[in-house]
Amino acid sequence: METTNSNKLALAFLGTLLATMALGIFSSAIFSPHKPIKAGYELPAAEVAAAAAPAAAPDDPLPALLAKADPAKGANDTKPCQACHSFDKGGPAKVGPPLYGVVGRPVASIAGFAYSDVLKGMGGDWTYDKIFTFIKSPKTMEPGTKMTFPGESDEHKRADILAYLQTLSDNPVPFPK
């Protein structure tokens, strides 16, 4: 009984092995003529969806994010912004308006800066909440904005940036509760 069983097992194993080898040979015979003309990586749909997921994920509540935010990390995270914005007190307009003291400042209020119509029409002051949403994806949040920055999808980095912006003020605006 024992021997027969293990013989069966061995046969089954060999059979599977052969079938796998045969499949390999067949499939390469079938598929090799269809090599893609353009070399490159085609990501499986699942991976693409996974990569796109963080941007679509809803954000945690801002007060909770701000409570854990780190202004030093935020200063570092503004490196991409610095290509277009000055963060220094009394700093000049560059591609974008200077951002020292931007929290609590009326939207589109730097004199002489050629804001887009959409920002000029926004009204109100920049709050933590508004900046948090705006820099996530400027073109989506304010279609027509001149800020051609693709956006920072990481909510923690955006909260860190806000914590840094809080320090850039003579009268820092308290975080929302």
Among 173, 174, 168, CA closest to 71: 168
What's the rounded Cα separation, in Å, for the pair 139 and 151? 8
Q: From residue 135 to residue 154, what is the string marking binding to ligand HEC with x (rule CB under 6 A)?
A: x---------xxxxx--x--
Closest to ligand HEC by CB, 49 or 83: 83
User: Least Å distance between CB 55 and ligand HEC?
Assistant: 15
Decide if 118 contacts 131 (C-beta within 8 A): no
Of 43-82, binders to ligand HEC (CB under 6 A) are 78, 80-81
What's the rounded Cα separation, in Å, for the pair 98 and 96? 7
User: Least Å distance between CB 67 and ligand HEC?
Assistant: 20
What's the rounded Cα separation, in Å, for the pair 102 and 104? 6
Residues that bind ligand HEC (CB under 6 A): 78, 80-81, 83-85, 95-97, 99, 102, 107-110, 115-116, 118-119, 126, 131, 135, 145-149, 152, 161
